[in-house]
Structure 1
Amino acid sequence: MSHNQPLACDLTAINDNERATHKTNAEKVFTSVEEWQELSDGYGFRLPTGTGIIEKAGAFIARERQCCPFFTFTLVVTPDGGPIWLKLTGNEEVKEYIKQNVIPQLDISNNNSWELPDNTTQ
């Protein structure tokens, strides 16, 4: 995607049967968010460490990238049972899109009690 290209989701990229499953899975991921943090290029969402959340987040990423190719997804699983973070990032338009469309739907108060891992590359 060019940085000048407008944001546009391709809703036809996911067929009707998969779309219903994707919507349900996305709701499960985002209703489980325990905290969010603003990043320079997007947002990070702390997920619970319970069973199945990594698989749900992975399934969300696999489908969402088909219809919304402007997101960069990073799933950070920290050692020793530590926090799990889903990062949605991109250019300034992407960050604003997340701020307007994702953050308001989260049913949490932002609690900055955890540090979001900065170094996710080796």
Structure 2
Amino acid sequence: MPIACCHTVFTKEERLDYKEIWSELDKRRLAVTEIEAGFQYQFPGDSDTLRYLSVWISLERKCCPFLTFTVIASSEDEPIFLQLTGKEDAKAFLRSEINDKIILITTLNNNSF
């Protein structure tokens, strides 16, 4: 499987949802830590954040099927951790391109479909 983001898989509505959800998650993100096979993001433990993460992952899986998503959540008093991992090349992709790809996905002209 190629290590490349395919942003054309989104419908117009999904693109709008993706933009809104990513924006909200970006505001809520507490930390990013590099781990052996990728990166771990830390978020508040509330139910709304968990819901946003679930929807974001369902969309992100469509455009980046080479990534593995692991959510670690316990009580609402504890942070939620999202691990983005994959094979060897996935970490390099995450390091250099994921933010650029997210920006591309969220700023593409909606009329391009």
TM-score (structure 2 length as normaliser): 0.77
Deviation string 1:60-114 (CA, Å, 9 cap, x unpaired) is 000110111011001110346212101100122211121123479xxxxxxxxxx
Q: 1:87 aligns with which of 83, 92, 100?
A: 83
CA contact under 8 A between 2:73 and 2:81: conserved in structure 1?
yes
Distance 1:23 1:94 in 2: 22
CA contact under 8 A between 2:46 and 2:77: conserved in structure 1?
no
Gaps spanning 5+ residues in structure 2: where?
101-113
The aligned counterpart of 1:115 is: none
Aligned residues: 100
Q: 1:52 Cα deviation (Å)?
A: 0.2
- In the alignment, does 2:13 pair up with 1:10? no
Task: After the TM superposition, list the runs of 4 or more consecutive aligned residues in structure 1 that deviate by more than 2 angstroms.
Answer: 78-81, 101-104
Gaps spanning 5+ residues in structure 1: where?
105-122
Structure with greater proportional helix content:
2
Percent of residue pairs bearing the same amino acid type? 29
Alignment map for 1:1-122 (pairs within 5 Å)? 1=1, 6-79=2-75, 81-102=77-98
Distance 1:99 1:9 in 2: 13
